[in-house]
Amino acid sequence: MNVLSKKDIVFLQSDASYCNKNEIANLTVFDTSENKFYNSNVFKIKNSTEAEFQALVFSIKIAKKNEYKNVIFVYDCNSLNIESLSEFCKTKCSFYNFQFLWLPRTFLLQTDEIARTNLKQLLKKYDFNLTDGELIKIYKTFNTRKILLSVFNYLDDTFVNEKKAIDMYLENKYSLLKLQKIRIQNQDIFRFIYHILDSDEKQKFYAFFSTIMPTIQNSLTFLKQPKKIFLAEILREILSQLKIKKGCIKRE
């Protein structure tokens, strides 16, 4: 690592490559002082602008960690509001001087290419080359609607009641009487959903499904955390089917 004087200026170029379908982004920062690229993958990102903002945040973290004092943060997204970042740098960082500098993408081509390459590599292994635990962890970062829609599209037309139940939950339009009339063939798919959802949504879904199937109330078989292989086998089937359907996680 180079030894910097207080007068040395470090340029940190930041860029992000974003996948809208999976809400994943790769953040890449090029450190001109070390001639080094830093990379980070982030999930549950809403849009490309948020990804670019997170890339700038990532570059600030690198500057702080490396104890840089004079920093110019270079970025190429002209829709970013950097006021909050400027305030953070003033109050939370020990920089002597800092500046946010927008430049056209042509000045950050190498950083942009590294970010794109990293994202492509991540997406190639995203569905099937991960371990069971890694795959489940990533899938759990999806919001509730996306998880339920992926299951909805996975089920074929022989599972009419299962699809009807998922649709009713998504639309939040159901009555006790309607739920009690639904007959479920495949309880495993609902157990899968229950154990994939976050804790708050899990309780809501349990109350919903126990109305359809009262036998699961206080059922250790249903409530006990299943083995990863149980969740992963169903998840890989879902992802395989969605891949056949061009990965479309939406209602047909």
Q: What pLDDT is stored for residue 126 in this prediction?
A: 55
Angstrom CA distances, 21 to 25, 43, 47, 146, 180, stand at 11, 11, 10, 10, 35
Q: What pLDDT is stored for residue 125 in this prediction?
A: 57
Compute the CA torsion angle 191, 197, 198, 201 (nearest 10 deg): -90
Q: What pLDDT is stored for residue 187 in this prediction?
A: 87
Helix axes 48-65, 83-92, angle to 10 degrees: 20
Q: For residue 4, what are its two tokens?
A: 């910097």
Q: What pLDDT is stored for residue 102 in this prediction?
A: 96
Q: What is the pLDDT of residues 108-131, one digit of tens each?
A: 999 999 999 998 877 765 545 567
Residue 188: which of 237, 149, 142 has the closest Cα? 237
Angstrom CA distances, 41 to 23, 119, 147, 202, 229, stand at 11, 8, 20, 27, 25
pTM of the model: 0.52
Q: What pLDDT is stored for residue 77 in this prediction?
A: 93
Residue ranges of the chain with per-residue pLDDT less than 70: 1-7, 124-130, 243-252
Q: What pLDDT is stored for residue 151 in this prediction?
A: 93
Tokens 């430049």 belong to 103
Tokens 């309607």 belong to 178
Distance CA 152, CA 85 (A): 41
Q: What pLDDT is stored for residue 86 in this prediction?
A: 95
